[in-house]
Structure 1
Amino acid sequence: MPLLSIITVTYNAERFLERTIQSLIANQPGDEVEYLIIDGNSKDGTLDLVRKYENHISRWISEPDRGLYDAMNKGQQLATGDYVWFMNAGDEIHDATTVANLLHQIRTNPADIYYSDALFVDETGKPLGLRSRVTPHTLPHHLTWRDMAMGMKVCHQAFIARRSLVPDFWVDNLSADIDWEIRCLKAARTIVWLDFILCKYLTGGLSVQRHRQSLADRFKVLATHFGTATTLWNHVRIVERAVRFRFAK
């Protein structure tokens, strides 16, 4: 049984998948890590890349799905590691020491959740800055589910959870990753902030491409956990925070 399952979800991802796979290979993960690719029946060259690197992939499937979060649910169901870590096409493990550092933490400081900051990068791989600095979302070093009342504090690529406590993703909600993190945090007894960066996060994902629906879905998620009235007030605060952040920059 591996300690860690790294899961990559793909759909027509030939432009970006290779950088994700190569970041895994650079870490020389060994038997303690399994790597899964869950593909949504891609029509481009994605599967050619999968076959090219098949020796580094523990298991892959390609079949129609109901979207990103349906595929992520499939990944969780197929995973056998003690922990799950989603690193989707275009995202990268931060550097060649990251997996070794993470496994050391898991062995010596067992926890239900590990999290860190994320380095934003553009399509060319150019660094744009740490998420906690280039967005209004500061990163607490003692994270709880209540810290998510005004939105996502940790991107899911920098959030690793014990598989035994993870819930299913909310398939038809574009902010399902916020809901998933909140539910993980509610279930967790021990949550550890890591003082090293876990990932490079490729900006411009689904929530950006369908921004209006993503905001509406985020409201549904936050209202589910914090109540409608509190969420309405917090959205006023979110707008004020965004304005202050923009002027400060």
Structure 2
Amino acid sequence: MKISVLTVCRNSAATIRHTLDSFFAQDHAAKELVIVDGGSSDETLAIIATYPQDRTQLLSEPDSGMYDALNKGLRLYTGEAVGVLNSDDCFHDRSVLARISAGLEEADIVHGHLDFVEDHQARRVVRRWRAAPRPARGFRTGWMPAHPTFYVRRKVAETVGPFDLSLKVASDYDWMLRAVELHGFNSTVAGHTLVDMMIGGASTHSLRSHVRHNLEALRSRRQWLGAGPVDYALIAKPMRKIRQFLL
């Protein structure tokens, strides 16, 4: 199964080598990297040019943010499955895409464990996200997969459609919710750490960003699941994350 990996970046010279190294180190041969660059002015494009081009698509032009760039990637990829690897994140080891491919042989969606790390040299883990199968009421219970580990078959991506650009930090949550809850695609857990994610992303770098993400996630549940002004997941979702720091 050919797996396409979408990487969006802008002025990512400080981190993107780790991301690219982890992609090209994958022992799964049928792979494609789609890089959507937002018009970098640093050394990002020069770094990308030093890597093999036969497995890479590159688009570099101004965009309206991460989700706009991801939508461009969804229009470009050629694989049978697709997921996202952020330009400051890495695959955990060489076997990740092979594990994803195996999972997608039995399900429409696969997701797995995620480690939050301080940096990719020391790889000191500060938080561990452990994936779990979808509970009976899914996103209504505060459950969600880790988006950087979330890979889907092409039919899922085509059915769900583009990321919602009106959501600034939780459009990935909304996209997964639509795939799992609205369209009912089945999922499986890889049972392995798939991604090392650097702390400090758009939805995790501050208390304010956490609050904004939770409010946007509530907006998504209200739109698609009929949630009220306040629902159970608004409290349960942050509470689920507290134990990630204790693992």
How much does 1:223 deviate? 1.6
Tell whether 2:25 aligns with 1:41. Answer: no
Q: Which amino acid aligns with 1:72?
A: L
Q: Which amino acid aligns with 2:91?
A: I
In structure 2, what is the equivalent of residue 85 of structure 1? 83
For 1:111, what is the secondary structure of its paired residue?
coil
For 1:116, what is the secondary structure of its paired residue?
strand
1:24-74 Cα offsets, whole Å, 9 max, x none, are 1211442x1111111111111111111111436421011011100011111
In structure 2, what is the equivalent of residue 136 of structure 1? none
Seen in structure 2, the aligned counterparts of structure 1 residues 144 and 7 have a Cα distance that, compared at 3 Å, is: farther
In structure 2, what is the equivalent of residue 160 of structure 1? 151
Match runs of 1:106-185 below 5 Å: 106=104, 109-124=105-120, 125-132=123-130, 139-141=131-133, 143=134, 146-151=137-142, 153-166=144-157, 167=160, 168-173=162-167, 174-185=169-180
1:107-131 Cα offsets, whole Å, 9 max, x none, are xx33210111111112353222421
Q: 2:13–2:44: 8 Å Cα contact kept in structure 1?
A: yes
C-alpha distance in structure 2 between counterparts of 1:15 and 1:196, whole Å = 27
Q: What runs of 5+ residues in structure 1 fail to find an aligned partner?
A: 133-138
Q: Which amino acid aligns with 1:214?
A: H
Q: Which amino acid aligns with 1:178?
A: Y
Q: 1:161–1:184: 8 Å Cα contact kept in structure 2?
A: no
Q: Percent identity?
A: 25
How much does 1:244 deviate? 7.9
Q: Which has the higher helix share?
A: 1
Q: Which amino acid aligns with 2:85?
A: M
4+ long deviations beyond 3 Å: 230-234, 236-239, 241-246
In structure 1, what is the equivalent of residue 190 of structure 2? 194
Q: 2:3–2:97: 8 Å Cα contact kept in structure 1?
A: no
Q: 1:37–1:57: 8 Å Cα contact kept in structure 2?
A: no
Matched residue count: 237
Q: What runs of 5+ residues in structure 2 fail to find an aligned partner?
A: none
For 1:118, what is the secondary structure of its paired residue?
strand
1:168-188 Cα offsets, whole Å, 9 max, x none, are 101121200111001111324
For 1:216, what is the secondary structure of its paired residue?
helix
TM-score scaled to structure 1, two decimals? 0.83
Q: 1:222–1:231: 8 Å Cα contact kept in structure 2?
A: no
Q: 1:6–1:86: 8 Å Cα contact kept in structure 2?
A: yes
Q: Which deviates more, 160-169 or 64-73?
A: 160-169
